Structure formats: C-alpha cells, structure tokens
C-alpha cells in the first residue's frame, strides 16, 4: 500500500494513461449525441434520450454497477417571447430569449431603469426608482472597481425582486449578437416576473438612447412558457473498491444542457469525459482500492436539481459520511491543475498529487493548484454538507466561453485533445484519491462557515436561501 499523498507510478497508472490516449471514445460519443439527440434539457424527450444513452454506454463498456437515481422536478420549457422598446415615436422589437423558470404567462409594459451591473449596491443606489420598473443590467461586470465579485443572474434577479422590479432585461456582455439563456431562479422554483436577455450590441443602443433623450424609455415584454412535473434521472455507475469499498470518491458532472444548441461544451465536455473515464478503468483492468462512483446529473441548469436530490438522499441514509471527496467536471478541458474546497490539509495533499501527475506529462499538465471555491454547479450541495470538493483548472478560450448557454454551443467548439487530457489527468487524480493510505477529513460546520465567509460566498448563499446558518 502506498504512503499518504503519493500517486501510483506502477503499471496501473501506465496502463490507464495509455488507454486514455490510445483508446479515447469521449469525443466520438459526444459527437454522436449532438447529432442524434441534440440538446439535453431536463424534462424534455431529448433529456430522457440522453439519460438512456449514458446508461447504455456505462453498461456497454462493462462498468459493474449501473443504475438511475430518479428525482421529481418541475421542468420548464420556452414558448414564445416578445420584447419591444419604445421612446416617443421610436419603437423597435429586439432579438431576445427568455430565461428559465420565468412565468408561464406574462405581459408587462413599464419604464426601464438602468441598474448597471445589477449588484446589491447598484440596486440600493436606485432605491424606489426600481419599484414597478423593468431593470436593465449586465450579466457580466462592466467598469467595476478592481476586486468586485459578480453575482449569478439568478441572484441578480432575486435582488431585483426584493426591490420591487416588474421585470429584468439582461445584457449579454459578449460581442457578436450572441443571446444567452440560463435560469433566473436559484432553486428551480418559478419567479413571478419576466426575465430576458438581449445582445451586447442592443444593450449599448438602449444605453445610448437613455443618455441622449429625456423621454422615458419603455419596454413591453410578453412571454408564454410551459412548466410541468417530471421525473428525471441521474445516471450512476460504480466500480467497487478492492480493499476499502465503503469509502467513496464521487466524480460527477451534469449531463443536461440548455435547448438553444447541443450543449457540447456545457457540459458535454465534462459528462462525456466522465463516461470515458469509467471506460478506461474497465479497459485497463484497474480495480481501485476505494470505490469510484461516476454520476451524471440532470437538472443542473435549472437549479442543481439532480445533485441537490442526490445529496439530500445521501444525507438521509448516512451515505454522505462515506463520500471522501467529490470531483466536479463542469466545462473542463485540458486541465492545468486542480482546485480544492476542503480543510487546510487538502491543499498540501493536492499539491503533492499534482507534482506527481506532472511526471506523466509535464508539457501538457502545469500542476497548478488553488483553494478558491465558487457556487452554481453540482459540487455546491456536497460542499454545503461539508464534503471536500475538487475541480479541474481549465481555460477553454474566449471563443468557448462566449458561446456558454448560447445557440453557438455546438461540437465545432470541442477540441478532442482537451477531452483526452480530461481523462488522462483527472483519471490520475482519481487513482491518487482511490489509493492513498489516508485522506483528510470533511469540513466541520464552523470551519465551513468561516471558509465560505472568507471566500465572499455568504451574500450569494443568503440571497438564494442556501446559507446553512
């Protein structure tokens, strides 16, 4: 058995790396899914097809235990949306998309108020001027002071609601007339006001008119959407540990995607790399000492629905105490290192692991580490229960991030080599986690509270009703 903090450098690691490079299947499977299934929206026919496809792939490659974890969810699907701006004799419709979990029916006609970046201070400075108005705000940060932390679109919407807004118009801060969707609700419940997205170019036009003309600028928003109860399924595959089967390493990522394109980068990159990770362990005939549990979550885009449901189930059954660590693969490719959210001992542990992983390929893997933690992906429910979480450090490029949640998120953005390196380096990390003699502990509640506060996450968690204290 290996010493604490060391990575296998024996035949297991060599066989795994060779299989990941020479037998790679993730990109081919993702290409097939984007062509045959299309998008993977939770609650849709395509979402159910994606669940079945992933289940079948886990079984075909020979993972010994595969099952689906069902959970109830309210699915949202877009219908029609119309946005028209008026100022005096000037009137024009704008290209737009509705954000998810907006009302089934809404018609609002109101004056627009520019709230800049839509942060708490931006809205509080405008005070009562926001009430019964439609708020214009940036999705990203524009001209913000250094060190300013952005909020998620759902958190900005929640703040607008607290100030009495009648609707929200987000400006997507990506050049090229790109529209972005996503949820306007933190937890997947319906919000009572319409929220839509317009392009950066149209947002600039509106702000020019607000600056040049004294007449109020009014907005008419009309939308029709659908909400219905559905049963979705997380797809779970497991390779039992050889000597410590009761200790579990979870590696997960969301399988679902938005419906404007095929979700090839968000999160086909991560979820189909997970499928190939499982294949490599079986094909290379590697039996890890701890149990490896591969989870493809549904409902992430609509409010972490699948991961919340699974973590609550694990907490209720006592299974969560056996989960040593959760590795989240969301929009990752060609990892250059790993981040960790865990007690301080995890940082030194991860630095040792990354140093050893560099021995596999020092040219492709830089071995960087960070202790930064963030929210709004499937690691969050694990983290808030004290489970240490890890994630790959990737830089996919502006051409990818500009298509996030947009109509251009398709297979042409995916680099096959990035998926291969996902499997190589995350697989090496899993070998480390599975074979180490000892792993650091979970957060204590007090240590977790302090860490979340130090990371500036108390405010967004309070806005979303997820602050545990």
Q: What is the pLDDT of residue 11?
A: 82
Q: Which residues pair with 224 in a beta bridge?
A: 80, 105
Query: The whole model's pTM is what?
Result: 0.96
Can you spell out the DSSP letters for 43-62? TSHHHHHHHHHHHHHHHHTT
Sequence-distant contacts of 372-376: CB under 8 A, at least 24 apart: 372/339, 372/455, 373/339, 373/341, 373/451, 373/452, 373/455, 373/457, 374/455, 374/457, 375/152, 375/457, 375/460, 375/461, 376/152, 376/304
User: Which value, in Å, is the radius of gyration of the alpha carbons in the chain?
Assistant: 23
Residue 268 tokens read as 């086909």
Do domains 11-64+240-463 and 76-226 share one topology? The answer is: no
Low-confidence ranges of the chain (pLDDT < 70): 1-10
The CA-atom distances, in angstroms, between 368 and each of 104, 147, 338, 400 are 46, 22, 6, 22
- Say whether domain 11-64+240-463 belongs to CATH 3.30.70.2190: no
Q: Are 242 and 287 in contact (CB under 8 A)?
A: yes
CA-based torsion, 252, 255, 261, 262: positive or negative = positive
CATH number of 76-226: 3.50.30.30
Q: How far apart are CA 220 and CA 127, in angstroms?
A: 22
**What local confidence, expressed as pLDDT, does residue 13 receive?**
85
Predicted local confidence at residue 14, as pLDDT = 85
Taking CA atoms, 456 is separated from 160, 214, 316, 372, 452, in Å, by 20, 39, 29, 10, 6
- 315 burial class (0-12, 13-18, 19+ CB within 10 angstroms)? middle
C-alpha to C-alpha distance for 168 and 162, rounded to whole angstroms: 12
Contact 168, 134 (CB under 8 A): yes
Residue 246, phi then psi, degrees to nearest 5 = -75, -15
Instruction: Supply φ then ψ for residue 347, to 5 degrees.
Output: -65, -50
Position 10 scores a pLDDT of 65
Query: What would the two tokens of residue 353 be?
Result: 């692991």
Domain boundaries, the chain: 11-64+240-463, 76-226
pLDDT digit string, tens, across residues 342-373: 999 999 999 999 998 998 999 999 999 999 99
Q: What does the block give as tokens for 287? A: 């039996």
């Amino acid at each position: 058995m290996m010493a604490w903090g060391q990575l296998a450098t024996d035949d297991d690691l060599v066989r795994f790396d060779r299989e990941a490079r020479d037998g790679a299947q993730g990109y081919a499977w993702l290409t097939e899914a984007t062509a045959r299934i299309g998008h993977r929206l939770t609650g849709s026919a395509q979402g159910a097809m994606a669940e079945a496809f992933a289940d079948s792939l886990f079984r075909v490659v020979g993972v010994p235990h595969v099952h689906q974890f069902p959970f109830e969810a309210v699915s949202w699907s877009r219908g029609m949306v119309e946005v028209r701006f008026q100022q005096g004799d000037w009137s024009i419709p704008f290209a737009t998309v509705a954000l998810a979990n907006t009302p089934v029916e809404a018609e609002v006609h109101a004056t627009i108020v520019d709230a800049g970046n839509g942060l708490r201070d931006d809205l509080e400075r405008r005070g009562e001027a926001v009430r019964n108005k439609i708020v214009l705000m940036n999705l990203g940060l524009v001209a913000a002071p250094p060190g300013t932390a952005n909020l998620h679109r759902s958190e900005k919407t929640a703040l607008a609601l607290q100030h009495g807004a009648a609707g929200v118009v987000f400006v997507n801060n990506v050049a090229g007339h790109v529209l972005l969707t996503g949820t306007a609700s933190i937890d997947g419940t319906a919000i009572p006001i319409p929220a839509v997205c317009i392009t950066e170019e149209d947002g600039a036009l509106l702000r020019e008119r607000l600056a040049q003309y004294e007449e109020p600028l009014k907005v008419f928003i009309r939308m029709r959407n659908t909400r219905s109860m559905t049963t979705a399924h997380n797809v779970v595959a497991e390779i039992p540990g050889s000597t410590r089967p009761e200790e579990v390493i979870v590696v997960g990522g969301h399988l679902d995607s938005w419906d404007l394109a095929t979700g090839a980068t968000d999160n086909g990159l991560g979820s189909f790399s997970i499928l190939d990770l499982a294949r490599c362990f079986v094909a290379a005939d590697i039996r890890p000492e701890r149990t490896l549990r591969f989870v493809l979550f549904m409902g992430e885009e609509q409010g972490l629905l699948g991961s919340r449901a699974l973590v609550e189930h694990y907490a209720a059954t006592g299974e969560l105490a056996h989960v040593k660590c959760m590795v989240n693969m969301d929009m990752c490719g060609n990892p250059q290192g790993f981040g960790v959210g865990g007690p301080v001992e995890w940082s030194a542990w991860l630095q040792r692991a990354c140093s050893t992983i560099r021995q596999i390929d020092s040219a492709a893997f830089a071995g960087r580490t960070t202790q930064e933690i963030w929210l709004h992906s499937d690691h969050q429910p694990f983290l808030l229960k004290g489970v240490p979480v890890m994630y790959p450090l990737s830089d996919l490029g502006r051409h990818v991030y500009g298509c996030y949640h947009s109509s251009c998120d398709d297979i042409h953005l995916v680099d096959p080599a990035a998926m291969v390196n996902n499997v190589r380096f995350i697989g090496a990390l899993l070998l480390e986690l599975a074979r180490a003699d000892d792993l650091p502990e979970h957060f204590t509640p007090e240590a977790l509270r302090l860490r979340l506060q130090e990371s500036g996450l108390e405010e967004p968690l309070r806005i979303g009703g997820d602050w545990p204290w």
